Amino acid sequence: MEMSPNCQDSLQTPSVFSMAVRQLEIVADLIGLDDGVRRILSSCEKEFTVNFPVTMDDGTVKSFSAYRVHHNTTLGPAKGGLRFHPNVHLDETKALAMWMTWKCAIANIPYGGGKGGVTCEPNKLSSIELERLTRRLASEMSPIMGHNMDIPAPDVNTNEQIMSWIMDTVSSQIGRTSPSVVTGKPVAIGGTVGRKEATGKGVSIITKETLKNHKIPLKDCRIAIQGFGSVGYWSAKFLNDMGCKIIAVSNIHGAIFNNNGLDINSLGNHQLSNPNLATFPGVDTISNKELLSLHCDVLIPAALERQITAQNADQINARILVEAANGPTTPESDIILQEKGIHVIPDVVANSGGVIVSYFEWVQDLEHIFWDLEEVNSRLTTLIINSLSKVRNTAERYKTTLRTGALALAVERIAHGLALRGIFP
């Protein structure tokens, strides 16, 4: 997921993990969560930090810091993405792992929440340097990684190739090929069809379902998308193919707008050769702030966390906000959006397509039986719409927002699992 620069001042805003914990506290108070369970879920089971050297192409040696966090594994092994980004740090990784716990529980798939990342600038590394870094990382993380312990997947600035190197490194160390140690691999070595576009596919399914519930026709529905990386692009493409009008998108280089709708297929091809979207013909350049405040039916933040805050939430003019990114909306801005009557589909539901299809890949690897794209998409559609329905029912039961309803559903399922498993010894 690529994004426009984050304008948040870390000295003035709470940490990402404290934001995630605050969301949990709101739910815990609402459902009367047991204090012991509250303490368990407010912290992470494992926080793994490594610092390791990598030899650069010029012969120098650089040291990199990496993190892998398991938030809670009551319902299954840790599952979560691996990102390469200069702003990766432990606090962010803990928050993302917590959100993954909720996401997996809501989807009712047998995983706990995990997340990882390396603090680096991957665009400044050669392919050989990137491979060295990835393989050394896989080796360092191998004590907590495995198909029944922790299964990484692609995230920001990581892809099929990164997953291939991790799979090969772990397989070499254990002496046998283990495709199920990661998901998001190429199909040729145990990946699944539909995984690359799965998060965007899920966003489009959720958006379509939400528009239907609000009686907003797909044709010419106006949508703005912050972020035009993997998630943003595929969300835009699927929604465009459904008949929606994508009026604005952005990436790290800036944002563009066309009131009559953007040609998403041509824009995607353009970005491959020239990431500066402003050079695409027939568009107006706008700021990230202007994109977020556009009058539209649906706003889809598909960048990084904390993009909609108490400082800009009152400027949002969308009818529906679908969170394709993780944690794009702070708890304070949630209150403002609710007061404005903006319908928010929370990240733990909206962007769960990626982990759902990762689960499908993991199952196929373990069974050595693979599905075609039609089956993958059919199973994804059924599961993600069912998740949205259960979240709505939970929100109605507690007379609360979809976000709080979603987290309540997740916490109830995990608390039930904890009660059944008990506390060792």
User: Nearest Cα to 97, choosing from 72, 118, 119, 76?
Assistant: 72
Computed from CA positions of residues 154, 160, 161, 166, in that sequence, does the dihedral angle turn out positive or negative?
positive
CA distance 416 to 147: 24
The answer to whether 183 touches 362, Cβ cutoff 8 Å, is yes
The residue count for the chain: 425
What single DSSP character describes residue 189?
Answer: G
- Between the alpha carbon of residue 218 and those of residues 211, 295, 334, 381, the distances in Å are 7, 17, 26, 17
Q: Which amino acid, residue 245?
A: K
User: Nearest Cα to 338, choosing from 327, 329, 347?
Assistant: 329
Q: Which helix (H) or strand (E) holds 20?
A: helix 16-31
Helix, coil or strand: residue 85: strand
The one catalytic residue in 94, 115, 208, 237 is 115
Q: Which helix (H) or strand (E) holds 406?
A: helix 402-421
Judge whether 115 counts as a catalytic residue: yes
Catalytic positions, please? 115
